[in-house]
Structure 1
Amino acid sequence: MAGAKATRRMGRPPLVDRDAIVRAALEIGFAKLTMSAVGQRLGASHSTLYRYFASRNALAAAAIDRAVDAVDWPEPGGDWRSYLSALASSYWDLYDTHPGLAAEVSSLRSTSRGMVAVTNRAAVALLGFGFSAAHAVLVQDMLGELVTQAFLGAPPPADGQPAEIDGPQAGADGRHTFSIVNGRRMRRAELIEPWLTLYDERIREEFSAAVARDPREQFRTKLTVLLDGIEALRRQPP
């Protein structure tokens, strides 16, 4: 009898709490996040999960909070251009680390207190740089959308794999650009290759180069254009 009791104790399901559920959600990734997937990963029943989170979206919001808290967000020192560049880099790291989060945010399926805090902090920082309230809100929104767009449409990682598909690739600045965006770049190149001859010969080569360019390098170019546009915007009344 004692042996039977010991066996039952050894077979007891692992303890599941709010922290463990959020951790499992982040490990699964937003692209594949369901209550069923979390339950299977933890060996827990649906009823156990729903004691902590009323819905899948409530769980996603908590996971977004955790992801946002782990990012090194910049302080508004220096000038507004360097601040926005650093902010864009932090957004990139957030989406790069968590596949599917960009789509989660873009589709308005979930938001979170952490994400609201980030956008509020960014807009307030821009007020400190002399932006009007209207321009501060507009600029932080445009910046967030620019980074989000870089990750939309990227293929999700294969089952059992983390954020990277084929492994990280070191960029020119030594940072790792995960193939969640490199996968999108390669897919775009595959799709456009048979149609390149339809482009005007004056832009064909540059179009091909833009599609094949390292995603982070291409993003920096777009960011420069955005920042130049913001400079012009600042000269106009709100």
Structure 2
Amino acid sequence: MRRDDIVAAALAVGFESLTVAAVADRLGTRRSTLYGYVADRDELATAAIEHVFASRAWPDTAAGWRRHLAEVIDLIWRTCDEHPGLADEISSLRIAPPTLVAGTNRSLTVLLDAGFTPDDALLALDMAIELALGYHQRGRTDTGTRPDTAGAMRRRRNHLPGLTDTMDPRAADRLRELLRGDPHDWFQAKADLLLDAIAARLKAQPGR
């Protein structure tokens, strides 16, 4: 057995159902055998996350800070959309995957080179990543499981009457339209608003 086989089995099990026992069952072996390759579930999850992000190219650092940050947001959103439960795993990591660390470090350098203060660079990157992760951490069902993006949108639509009955009609009509559309379009609008706010903050810095 190779470590790559264990990672592939972990991804096949999926992050939402990931346990050492589930991966052992998938491989037809004992948990004690897996512990010869990974120390615990955290290391198993980290290895799976590392594999996921190592197979994706981190956005170009020469594209300008705004485009770069927009592409980072989109990369994380789409990756979490492909792997239900990944957003929660990233948010609760105790062991940082090297590829993810390297990517975020490059993004920080892009922001700092663009004239961001260290505080603003850290805040901007943190908010961008939290925006992408947060979408996929919502929509949990009553059983505790989380549906895919389409399932999360259906769940939100079920709450429409309660949301829109007392809402200003100008906003209520737009909300109905948005929830019936492509969820990524609404997410992208949120990302654009965040990037506009970051750009305004950068422009307001003394000396700019």
- Does the TM-score normalized on the shorter chain lie above 0.5? yes
Aligned residue pairs: how many?
202
Confirm whether residue 35 of structure 1 aligns to residue 20 of structure 2.
yes
- Paired with 1:181 and 1:62, the residues of 2 have a C-alpha distance of 24
- Paired with 2:75 and 2:47, the residues of 1 have a C-alpha distance of 19
Alignment equivalent of 1:189, drawn from 154, 157, 162: 157
Identity %: 37
Q: Secondary structure of the equivalent of 2:108?
A: helix
Structure 1 unaligned blocks of 5 or more: 1-15, 157-164, 166-178
Give how far 1:32 is off: 0.7
Confirm whether residue 136 of structure 1 aligns to residue 104 of structure 2.
no
1:87 aligns with 72
After the TM superposition, list the runs of 4 or more consecutive aligned residues in structure 1 that deviate by more than 6 angstroms: none
1:153 aligns with 138
- Paired with 2:50 and 2:172, the residues of 1 have a C-alpha distance of 43
Alpha-carbon RMSD across the aligned residues, in angstroms, is 2.1
Q: If you compute each CA radius of gyration, which structure gives the higher value, 1 or 2?
A: 1
Q: Deviations over 1:137-178 (max 9, x none)?
A: 11111110111112113469xxxxxxxx9xxxxxxxxxxxxx
User: Residue 68 of structure 1 contacts residue 115 of structure 1 at CA under 8 Å; is this kept in 2?
Assistant: yes
- Paired with 1:69 and 1:60, the residues of 2 have a C-alpha distance of 14
Higher mean displacement: 209-218 or 53-62: 209-218
Question: Superposed, which structure 2 residues align to 1:73-222 within 5 Å?
Answer: 73-108=58-93, 111-154=96-139, 180-222=148-190
Structure 2 unaligned blocks of 5 or more: none
User: Residue 107 of structure 2 contacts residue 125 of structure 2 at CA under 8 Å; is this kept in 1?
Assistant: yes
Which letter does structure 1 place at the counterpart of 2:135? A
Which letter does structure 2 place at the counterpart of 1:183? G
The normalised TM-score by structure 2 is 0.88
Q: Which has the higher contact order (CA 8 A, sep 6+)?
A: 2
User: Residue 64 of structure 1 contacts residue 111 of structure 1 at CA under 8 Å; is this kept in 2?
Assistant: no
User: Residue 181 of structure 1 contacts residue 215 of structure 1 at CA under 8 Å; is this kept in 2?
Assistant: yes
